Structure 1
Amino acid sequence: MFGFLCSRQLLPLKHRRTHLGFLQQNGFFIVKSFTSVGSLSESNEKRDEEKKHSFAVSYLINSCGLSTKSAILASQSHLVLFQSPERPDSVLNLFKENGFSNAQISKIVRMHPLILLSDPEKTLLPKIELLRSVGVSSSELITILSSNPFLFKINLKKRFIPSYDFIKSVLLVDEKVLTTLKRSPRAFLSNVTTTMAPNIALLRQLGAPPSTISFLVTNFPSEAFIKHTKFVEAVHQVREMGFDPMKTVFVLAIQVLLKMKKPKLESKLELYKRWGWSKDMALAAFKRSPNCMLSSEEKITKTMDFLVNKIGWPSANIARNPSVITLSLENKIIPRCSVVQILLAKGLVKNNLGVGTFLRPTERIFLEKFVIKFQDDVPELLNVYQGKMSSGCRISV
């Protein structure tokens, strides 16, 4: 024991962090020092990882067009580590061969860095080929995938194909399915059997016709794919308000409630009450045009102020035509009101002209009925409509 203590005291400082091995010869302990194999292994692994980080960061910057900050974040948080360019090069080449620009490729990698480690032939190409096979054009395909690269993660057999087939069973035609896909590609990341399927079953149970269900899926796929418990809650609220499941406005109201929390809806109703609407008027307006509740409070205030205070329209008139609140104030409401102001001042249209009569029609119909028709009498109408002149008039109702 004495020999061991003396030997340990005589060890140089540099050996204090080494492990000690002992051999017994002739009754004495002989000290044998050796460096830890584990320490060497950990040190080598650390150096290898640093090399991978350095190479990956350099590659992301030089080959993928990422900023230094984005490249560092990608290599750290997403563990996109590689020491050779073969696999990422093959991924980039696949994108280039299929028409993706450098900017689009950079966007894909920035959003989904792990895609660089994918197998191009087994993982990426089959998704591209499937989208083409169902009618997605090359330009549409590039737009969809560059904006939603997480679609590349979907399992074709377990997720994408079942979702596509179910949606087609609801919409019947590929064109509508493609519209749904283009409007909400991320919806296809959901499990159709636990989201959309029970939601559609509930609507059918309530008597909603295929046209109404098709309208929901095509125009609001994100809401159609939403968690079933949330969908049930929105349906319950809509039914309590008296909406008819047989009408399209029923699903319009559902999607509004799914986009808004109840306190926000109540806040909008209170705002309309400050403009003279009673609770019944506000509810009736919501039932006529549910989307009028989706406009921001600032948008509602500006539109109501213009129509009520500047144009002189009664607030009750707007409540009967609430869809006008969703229209662009600068691009539609003001130009059309400017034209009608002139026509009213010259007695060319009736004074009891309803606000919806000229704000709701399509561009072509408005031009035909209120501009072209009176161009001989008022040559400046088109210029007024295009904002090149001010009408300087006020509508009186």
Structure 2
Amino acid sequence: MLGFYCSRQLLLLKCRVTQLGFLRQNGFFIVKSFTSVAISHSNEGPGEEKRSFAVSYLINSCGLSTKSAILASKRLQFQRSETPDSVVHLLKENGFTNSQISQIVRIQPSLLSCDPKKVLLPKIEFFRSIGFSCSDVPRILTSNPSLLGRSLEKCLIPCLDFLKSVLLEDEKVVLTVKRAPRVIPFDPRNSMIPNIELLRQLGAPQSAIAFLVTNFPSSVTIKHTRFAEAVHEVKEMGFNPSKIVFVVAIQAFTKITKSKLESKLELYKRWGWSKEIALLAFKRHPNCMLLSDEKITKAMDFLVNEMSWSSLNIARNPTVIFFSLEKRIIPRCSVIQILLAKGLVKSDLSSSTFMLPGERSFLDKFVIKFQDVVPGLRNVYLAKMHLSGLGNAV
């Protein structure tokens, strides 16, 4: 009887230690407090015992929260730590951090039951072999852990081979995958191949197709019917398939519905754009219709009401709306307003002349060049002051 009592007390103590989160030395944390991880084995069958062990392991060795560990344990069944330990060890050996391992296990817990040298290592080595750096591989696989569960021969290699056939250079393939890791699991036969073939039939040059795949890879992985609809809309608006802006417009249409486009046109209309002017802006920079209503409203309010720019002027150079109001638009316009007032620049100066150049170029051409004539000009620019306060500052 005493032996039974002692055994039960030891079991309760073990559960209590698990609840308080005193982890092993090779775990993720030293101490972790859990709100509800009462793992009692008193009335559990074999299946529940396996799940309880898995929950404890996921918390103690993989850093998952109690809730995540319970959910993940439903996809696992193991009572010994040798296999999951070998998975965690291999990932650490290949540059994965504790937090990255936690994320992978939370999303793909079944990987803890695999043979890491047969399932994981070949994929890690494959990505390195085509040009991904040692730091790239963990980041890409963590952002899309399903890649580790995909077949190397049937999925990963064919998809990357197809990307290489389109982009022609390994460097561009690497860049594309780094931008959108989820482009890989898609079977290219279902979307990418017919989508790209449609562009070729319309006369889109290789450079434009490569630009679309490299910069907007998610656009070419959507269903072919949706992609074809976007292509049709762009053609109807008069875009030239031989120009890069044609594919930029396509990706914009894949992200916006007709009703949303009409809503954006109405918003621009409130700032003096007719539908024709709005379409002119769209043709110059299709992504101007993807900006948030708040971003559009703030930028247009400043440019129209405070800078007195005409709607046509903005539509001819819609790129200006994309820039940060606080970090770029207001500081640069503040400088130009001062220079205009002093007659140091032409009154018909195009906005693209001072809004598009990089920081160094703008400073050289419009600030440093005139700092002897206007001593406070640099301070005004750096302070990012609003136009209403410029008079006393200079």
Superposed counterparts of 1:152-301, under 5 Å:
152-301=148-297
SS in 1 for 2:62: coil
Structure 2 SS opposite 1:63: helix
Report the Cα distance in structure 1 between the residues aligned to 2:292 and 2:247, rounded to whole angstroms.
21
Report the Cα distance in structure 2 between the residues aligned to 1:65 and 1:132, rounded to whole angstroms: 27
Residue 139 of structure 1 aligns with which residue? 135
Residue of structure 2 equivalent to 1:53: 51
2:89 paired residue number: 93
Secondary structure of 2:184's aligned partner: helix
| Structure 1: 5+ residue stretches without partners | 1-44
Displacement of 1:197 in angstroms is: 0.8
AA at the equivalent of 2:129 = S
The 1:320–1:393 alpha-carbon spacing in structure 2 relative to 1, beyond 3 Å, is farther
Say if 2:63 and 2:102, in contact at 8 Å, map to a contact too. Answer: yes
**Kept after mapping to 1: 8 A contact 2:330/2:384:** no
Q: Is the contact made by 1:345 and 1:393 (CA closer than 8 Å) also made in structure 2?
A: no
Whether the aligned pair in 2 keeps the contact of 1:66 and 1:106 (CA below 8 Å) is yes
Tell me if the contact between 2:330 and 2:385 (Cα under 8 Å) persists in the aligned partners: no
Partner of 1:4: none
**How far off is 1:354 after superposition?**
2.0
Q: Following the alignment from structure 2 to structure 1, what is the Cα–Cα distance between the partners of residues 313 and 366?
A: 20
Q: Alpha-carbon deviations, 1:318-361, whole Å to 9, x = none?
A: 11111111112122111211221221122211111222221122
Deviation at 1:389, TM superposition (A): 5.2
Please report how far the alpha carbon of residue 142 of structure 1 lies from its aligned counterpart in structure 2 after TM superposition: 1.6
Alpha-carbon offset, residue 364 of structure 1? 2.7
2:62 matched to which residue of 1?
Answer: 64
> Residue 311 of structure 1 corresponds to which residue in structure 2?
307
Contact 1:308 1:314 in 2 (8 A): yes
Superimposed CA distance per residue, residues 10-65 of structure 1 (whole angstroms, 9 cap, x where no aligned partner):
xxxxxxxxxxxxxxxxxxxxxxxxxxxxxxxxxxx971111011101100110001
When the two chains are superposed, the root-mean-square deviation of aligned CA atoms in Å is 1.7
Instruction: Name the residue aligned to 2:373.
Output: 377
Aligned partner (choices 90, 107, 112) of residue 108 of structure 2: 112
CA separation in 2, counterparts of 1:155 and 1:327? 43
The 10-residue stretch of structure 1 (173-182 or 150-159) with the greater mean CA deviation from structure 2: 150-159
| AA at the equivalent of 2:63 | G
Shift of 1:378: 2.4
Contact 1:291 1:323 (C-alpha < 8 Å) held by counterparts:
no
Cα pair 2:335 2:366 within 8 Å, conserved: yes
Q: Secondary structure in 2 aligned to 1:208?
A: coil
Decide whether aligned partners of structure 1 residues 259 and 381 sit closer, same or farther in structure 2, where only a CA change above 3 A counts.
Answer: same
Q: Structure 1 residue 385: deviation in Å?
A: 2.1
Query: Quick check: 1:285–1:319 contact (8 Å CA) kept in 2?
Result: yes
Superposed displacement of residue 363, structure 1: 2.2
Give the letter aligned to residue 140 of structure 1: D
Alpha-carbon shift at residue 224 of structure 1 (Å): 1.4
Q: Please give the per-residue CA displacement for 1:144-165, whole angstroms capped at 9, x wherever unaligned.
A: 1122211112211111111111
In 1, the alpha carbon distance for the partners of 2:380 and 2:386 equals 6
Q: Deviations over 1:284-331 (max 9, x none)?
A: 110111011110011101110011112221222111111111112122
CA distance in 2, matches of 1:192, 1:335: 46
What per-residue deviation string (whole Å, max 9, x for no partner) do you get for residues 95-129 of structure 1? 11011111221122122222212220111101100
Does the residue aligned with 1:275 lie in a helix, a strand or coil? coil
Relative to structure 1, is the Cα distance of residues 310 and 60 closer, same or farther in structure 2, using a 3 angstrom cutoff? same
Q: How far 1:382 sits from its partner (Å)?
A: 2.7
Identical columns (%)? 65
Q: How many residues align?
A: 349
Q: Which has the larger Rg?
A: 1
Identify the range of structure 1 (144-153 vs 203-212) with the bigger mean alpha-carbon deviation: 144-153
Equivalence map 1:10-89=2 (5 Å): 47-76=45-74, 79-89=75-85
Specify the code of the residue in structure 1 equivalent to 2:104. Answer: I
- Amino acid of the structure 1 residue aligned with 2:56: S
Correspondence list, 1:310-329, <5 A: 310-329=306-325
Cα contact 1:289–1:323 (8 A) shared by 2: yes
Is the Cα contact below 8 Å between 1:339 and 1:371 reproduced in 2?
A: yes
Q: Which amino acid aligns with 2:50?
A: K
* Map of 1:363 onto structure 2: 359
Deviation at residue 380 of structure 1 after TM alignment: 2.8
Aligned equivalent of 1:335: 331
Task: Give me the whole-angstrom Cα distance separating, in 2, the residues matched to 1:190 and 1:241.
Answer: 30
CA distance in 2, matches of 1:114, 1:380: 63
